[in-house]
Amino acid sequence: MTRKDAVIALLLTVLCAVMALASPQFLSVPNLQNVSRLVGTYGIFSIGVGFVIVTGGIDLSVGSMCALLGVLLSMMLVEWHWPATVALAAALIIGAGLGAAHGVLVTRLRLQPFIVTLCGLLLYRGAARYIARDSTKGFGTGEGFEWVRLLASGSLGGVPMPFVLLGIVAVAAWLLLHRSVFGRHLVAIGRNEEAARYAGIRTKAVVAWAYVISGALTAVSAIIIAFYTNSISPASHGNFYELYAIAAAVVGGCSLRGGEGSIAGIVMGAALLQVLRNLVNLLDIPGSLDFAVMGAVILLGAMADQIVAWRSRGAER
């Protein structure tokens, strides 16, 4: 565990202790299950966005991609009567394919990641609304694919399945980022892409794969969210999810300049955000402050990152 991870873990522990003292309901089993379910769901796509941020990029299309994939998944299962395994595979392939498109535009055409994924945010939201004709989609009783719904609403030994899936994804992502050549290349590109290129790293391919990972993990979360809510309104489904992902990554120690990130930190960052949201609900704080809290978290994380950068440059001198 890095120094940043230790600090985040301490903050999360203190916040949970404060929550337990402020509201005894926080430690109730139903509340803890609800929070862990949300941590699992949001944590999965936050890890994907974290990979992109490590390269020095950004992904703003997460929420709109969730809406588009949720609409398509509903239509594939309910209206087109595709087998569940085929529909799930198609959703994952589409998510990864959209991520690949982002990667190609960023690496081959040298477009700014902000512009590419901002356009994705608009395009996917518009496509979802057009395909669904602005009507709400769902899965009804889920007859014939009940096992898929268990991925979103079921549990394993009392632990919500999204949290279990987050654990699996986090372990795989940790090995990929911290214990593989690919992960070392990602970090090297984020720190200095030109130097990485001169070192023989295939920078374009590595960056493109980061966006593919982000798209694929967004698809996993999109499937979970769609079945958990059983209601996909194309105009609002997934709104602001990209901000939660960025906030979780920044709070978790990812530098927006690239070249630094921790899977454990991202998971704890996602948990920290959900505990803060739970605090807003349990203490009857106006829900309108939810986004204000998130904005403050992102700002504080960015400020901390900048202060660390200044100190590092001062130490080098």
- Distinct helix (H) and strand (E) counts, the chain: 13, 2
pLDDT (tens digit per residue) in 51-97: 999 999 999 999 999 999 999 999 999 999 999 999 999 999 999 99
Kindly give the residue spans of alpha helices, DSSP state H, lying in 154-289: 161-178, 181-191, 193-198, 203-229, 241-251, 263-282
By three-state DSSP, how is residue 144 classified?
Answer: coil
pLDDT at 26 exceeding the cut of 70: yes
Percent of the chain with pLDDT over 90: 69
Q: How confident is the model over 139-146, as a mean pLDDT?
A: 82
Determine the pLDDT at residue 236: 94
Q: What phi and psi values does residue 232 have, to the nearest 5 degrees?
A: -115, 100
Give CA torsion, residues 181, 183, 189, 190, to 10 deg: -160
Q: How confident is the model over 249-271, as a mean pLDDT?
A: 91
pTM: 0.93
| Other beta carbons less than 10 A from residue 54's beta carbon | 25
For every residue of 195-212, which 3-state class applies, written as one string?
A: HHHHCCCCHHHHHHHHHH
Give CA torsion, residues 168, 180, 48, 111, to 10 deg: -170
| Other beta carbons less than 10 A from residue 204's beta carbon | 17
Do 60 and 117 meet the contact criterion of CB atoms below 8 Å apart? yes
Closest Cα to residue 218, out of 98, 90, 38? 98
Burial class from Cβ neighbours inside 10 Å (0-12, 13-18, 19+) for residue 183 reads buried
Domain boundaries, the chain: 44-237
Determine the pLDDT at residue 317: 55
Residue 207 to residue 59: CA distance in whole angstroms: 12
pLDDT at 315 exceeding the cut of 60: no
Do 64 and 124 meet the contact criterion of CB atoms below 8 Å apart? yes
pLDDT at 113 exceeding the cut of 90: yes
pLDDT at 230 exceeding the cut of 70: yes
Residue 23 to residue 137: CA distance in whole angstroms: 36
Do 103 and 60 meet the contact criterion of CB atoms below 8 Å apart? no
Residue 203 to residue 128: CA distance in whole angstroms: 33
pLDDT at 310 exceeding the cut of 90: no
Length of the chain: 317
pLDDT at 307 exceeding the cut of 90: no
